[in-house]
């Protein structure tokens, strides 16, 4: 057989094999679609109870997609608004956080946003909304109240408000009608821009939404005018967002034409290389990127690219490890499928995706990955970096680990509720720079009667151990030891609150500051107590 005939025969065999494989996949898909329809029809015909088709189908779809990865999800038509808000960080409404402790009580304005329609209309923290467009708020849940406040930008909603403080034509306690014109509320993705000291500029960014790169550029220009000599770019807790905005941010600080990220899907020819397409604003300023286990996706694109291109010093703890690219696909009945279509790779070739995203730490971040399971890659100037999940910082600086009690009082809204009480009792305060919370005894007196789990981590673990001992039939045999250990671990609520005073006060100060001076003031308070940031500023820039 000559070479030409041999090659043709191999190609023919490959074509047959490919066709057979395609037919096999097509048959398998058709088989399961047919089985699914048959099962559903039989259930609808003969199941003993009435069949909630919509509910069981939705649960079935969710379970099917969950078996793939955590990020491939179905979004039906009725959830589109919330989905778009997640993508764009915008919604139509009045721009205020509300609080409603009692379904039969009034809605409280908890936290109006700076410059929002609520703030323009004079609504302040502590104002009570008795009715929305003439309908009483009594009997409405917090979500139902919030839904009534949202609406198309340009429309007006009228609140009947019991005012906390006096105004031009009303006294404290008066009930007045307050019309508020809804607007498109854009929650800022760049939450703070400011100087930390004479040389260090600081940009805090919470999401990668449309246009955020321009906000970062504007923030850089503002800080440069104020004398910035080093930029601190804080991506801690930033769960990501739009890939092209990540590319645009990297482009601010690296040469035009630099590779930022590469995505590779299953299909042949699906590889896409994303390069910077604009001129940078600064190629020389030292950059520190702060990351932690909550920094994911687009945050990892930015930190990984700047690290691989030897353009920034990455400081903090290893990032989350989400290196998957999602695309939006339309579905029948105006639904959408957010589906994982590719993995992305940093300029050195690292895949940020965790090796096994189904086994993670409690906070969802990457668990320990031995070096034997990872691979070495080289940065632009020859430094060694590794894959395996997330971006490993150049300098590891751990953040503060809060006690179980502190998490409990924050997550149960105790600090939030106290802040509203404080606002009602204090009409004015000095500037945020001069404000320090000193009445901790009043907070303890407020919190001690609230319901929350105040057990220490050790006590919570002990309670689980007691259950295990009971299951093993060892409770009676070890009663003496159990009683002694329980006594040593017992601590009343007030004692524990006082023990964690220094840990809790920063949260109280932040919540109070936000209610008098809006969200930016809360960040200023956070920076006051940010030991991880303070330590990061002591680290030297990596010598390229």
Write down which residue in 359, 380, 398 finishes a domain.
398
Percent of the chain whose pLDDT exceeds 70: 90
Task: Mark whether 467 is an active-site residue.
Answer: no
**pLDDT tens per residue across span 159-180:** 999 999 988 889 999 999 999 9
**pLDDT tens per residue across span 397-436:** 999 989 888 999 999 999 999 999 999 999 888 899 999 9
Domain presence at residue 286: yes
* Weakest mean pLDDT among 61-65, 322-326, 490-494, 534-538: 490-494
Q: How many CB atoms lie within 10 A of CB 235?
A: 29
Q: Report the relative pairing of strands 156-162 and 175-181 from DSSP bridges.
A: antiparallel
Domain presence at residue 25: no
Same domain, residue pair 410 and 515:
yes
Catalytic residue among 308, 387, 394, 530: 308
Highest mean pLDDT among 64-78, 86-100, 519-533: 519-533
Domain presence at residue 259: yes
Instruction: Give the 3-state secondary structure percentages of the chain, helix then strand then coil, rounded to 5.
Output: 40, 20, 40
Same domain, residue pair 377 and 413:
no
User: 369 pLDDT exceeds 80?
Assistant: no
User: 3 pLDDT exceeds 80?
Assistant: no
Handedness of CA 345, 350, 351, 354 (dihedral sign): negative
Name 270's Cβ contacts closer than 8 Å, sequence gap at least 6. 263, 264, 341, 342
Same domain, residue pair 177 and 223:
no
3-state secondary structure of 344: strand
| Bridge partners (DSSP) listed for residue 459 | none
Angstrom distance (rounded) from CA 271 to CA 460: 49
Name 544's Cβ contacts closer than 8 Å, sequence gap at least 6. 310, 381
CATH for 104:
2.30.42.10
Highest mean pLDDT among 87-96, 228-237, 365-374: 228-237
| b/e code 130-148 from CB counts within 10 Å (16+ = b) | ebbeeeebeebeeeebbeb
User: 153 pLDDT exceeds 60?
Assistant: yes
Angstrom distance (rounded) from CA 504 to CA 50: 52
CATH for 290:
3.90.226.10
pLDDT at 365: 65
Task: Mark whether 479 is an active-site residue.
Answer: no
Write down which residue in 168, 186, 204 finishes a domain.
186
Angstrom distance (rounded) from CA 99 to CA 36: 44
Domain presence at residue 432: yes
Domain presence at residue 24: no
Same domain, residue pair 372 and 416:
no
Same domain, residue pair 262 and 345:
yes
**pLDDT tens per residue across span 9-52:** 545 555 555 555 555 667 778 888 888 888 888 888 888 888 88
3-state secondary structure of 56: helix
Domain presence at residue 386: yes
User: 2 pLDDT exceeds 80?
Assistant: no
At residue 258, φ and ψ (nearest 5 deg) are -75, 140
Name the CA radius of gyration of the chain, rounded: 28
pLDDT at 69: 82
Q: Are 287 and 258 in contact (CB under 8 A)?
A: no
Q: Are 516 and 509 in contact (CB under 8 A)?
A: no
Residues 198-203 have a mean pLDDT of 97
Catalytic residue among 297, 299, 348, 365: 297
Same domain, residue pair 293 and 203:
yes
User: 358 pLDDT exceeds 70?
Assistant: no
Same domain, residue pair 284 and 247:
yes
**pLDDT tens per residue across span 228-274:** 999 999 999 999 988 999 999 999 999 999 999 999 987 777 789 99
**pLDDT tens per residue across span 426-463:** 988 889 999 999 999 999 999 999 988 888 777 777 77
Handedness of CA 59, 294, 214, 433 (dihedral sign): positive
Same domain, residue pair 342 and 232:
yes
pLDDT at 86: 66
Measure Cα distances from 254 to 138, 248, 283, 385, 451 in Å.
56, 10, 6, 19, 52
Write down which residue in 138, 160, 186 finishes a domain.
186
Nearest to 438 by CA among 516, 523, 521, 501: 501
Mean pLDDT of the chain: 88
pLDDT at 458: 78
pLDDT at 24: 67
Domain that holds residue 63: 31-67
Catalytic residue among 163, 207, 322, 524: 322
Count of the separate structural domains present in the chain:
4
Domain presence at residue 13: no
Residues 180-208 have a mean pLDDT of 95
**pLDDT tens per residue across span 263-303:** 998 777 778 999 999 999 999 999 999 999 999 999 999 99
Tokens of 317: 């703890």
Nearest to 420 by CA among 32, 96, 88: 96
Domain presence at residue 7: no
| Bridge partners (DSSP) listed for residue 96 | 112
User: 98 pLDDT exceeds 60?
Assistant: yes
Same domain, residue pair 134 and 159:
yes
Same domain, residue pair 330 and 308:
yes
pLDDT at 167: 87
Same domain, residue pair 243 and 336:
yes
**Which residue's entry shows tokens 């403080």?**
165
Residues 352-365 have a mean pLDDT of 67
Q: Report the relative pairing of strands 287-291 and 230-234 from DSSP bridges.
A: parallel
Same domain, residue pair 50 and 134:
no
- Predicted confidence band of residue 374 (pLDDT cuts 50, 70, 90): confident
Q: Are 313 and 305 in contact (CB under 8 A)?
A: no
- CA dihedral 406→411→414→418, nearest 10 degrees, is 100
Q: Are 519 and 191 in contact (CB under 8 A)?
A: yes
Task: Mark whether 147 is an active-site residue.
Answer: no
């Amino acid at each position: 057989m000559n070479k030409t005939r041999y090659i043709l025969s191999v190609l023919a065999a490959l074509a047959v094999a490919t066709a057979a494989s395609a037919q096999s996949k097509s048959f398998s898909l058709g088989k399961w679609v047919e089985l699914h329809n048959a099962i559903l029809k039989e259930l609808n015909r003969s199941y003993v109870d009435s069949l909630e088709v919509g509910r069981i189908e939705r649960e079935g779809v969710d379970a099917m997609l969950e078996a793939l990865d955590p990020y491939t999800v179905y979004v039906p038509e009725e959830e589109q608004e919330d989905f778009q808000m997640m993508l764009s960080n915008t919604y139509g409404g009045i721009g205020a956080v509300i609080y409603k402790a009692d379904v039969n009580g009034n809605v409280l304005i908890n936290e109006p946003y700076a410059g929002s329609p609520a703030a323009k209309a004079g609504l302040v923290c502590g104002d009570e909304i008795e009715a929305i467009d003439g309908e009483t708020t009594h009997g409405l849940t917090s979500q139902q109240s919030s839904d009534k406040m949202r609406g198309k930008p340009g429309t007006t909603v009228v609140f009947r408000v019991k005012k906390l403080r006096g105004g031009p034509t009303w006294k404290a306690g008066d009930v007045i009608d307050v019309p508020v014109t809804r607007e498109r509320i854009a929650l800022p993705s760049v939450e703070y821009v400011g100087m930390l000291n004479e040389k260090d500029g600081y940009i805090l960014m919470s999401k990668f939404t449309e246009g955020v790169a321009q906000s970062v550029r504007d923030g850089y220009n503002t800080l440069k005018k104020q004398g910035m000599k080093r930029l601190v770019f804080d991506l801690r807790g930033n769960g990501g967002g739009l890939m092209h905005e990540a590319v645009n941010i990297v482009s601010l600080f690296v040469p035009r034409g630099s590779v930022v990220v590469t995505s590779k899907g299953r299909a042949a020819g699906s590889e896409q290389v994303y390069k910077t397409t604009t001129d940078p604003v600064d190629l020389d300023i030292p950059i520190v990127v702060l990351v932690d286990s909550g920094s994911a996706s687009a945050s990892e694109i930015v930190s990984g690219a700047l690290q691989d291109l030897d353009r920034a010093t990455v400081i903090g703890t290893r990032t989350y490890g989400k290196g998957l690219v999602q695309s939006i696909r339309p579905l029948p009945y105006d639904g959408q499928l957010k589906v994982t279509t590719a993995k992305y790779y940093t300029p050195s070739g690292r895949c940020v995706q965790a090796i096994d995203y189904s086994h993670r730490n409690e906070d969802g971040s990457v668990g320990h990955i031995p070096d034997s399971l990872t691979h070495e890659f080289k940065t632009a100037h020859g430094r060694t970096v590794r894959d395996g999940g997330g971006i490993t910082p150049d300098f590891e600086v751990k953040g503060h680990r809060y006690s179980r009690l502190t998490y409990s009082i924050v997550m149960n809204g105790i600090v939030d509720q106290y802040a509203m009480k404080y606002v009602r009792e204090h009409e004015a305060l000095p500037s945020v720079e001069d404000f320090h919370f000193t009445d901790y005894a009043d907070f303890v007196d407020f919190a001690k009667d609230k319901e929350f789990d105040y057990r220490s981590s050790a006590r919570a673990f002990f309670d689980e151990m007691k259950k295990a001992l009971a299951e093993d039939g060892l409770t009676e045999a070890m009663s003496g030891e159990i009683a002694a250990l329980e006594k040593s671990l017992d601590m009343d609520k007030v004692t524990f609150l006082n023990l964690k005073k220094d840990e809790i006060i920063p949260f109280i100060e932040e919540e109070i500051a936000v209610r008098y001076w809006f969200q930016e003031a809360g960040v200023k308070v956070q920076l006051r107590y940010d030991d991880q940031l303070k330590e990061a500023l002591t680290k030297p820039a990596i010598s390229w």
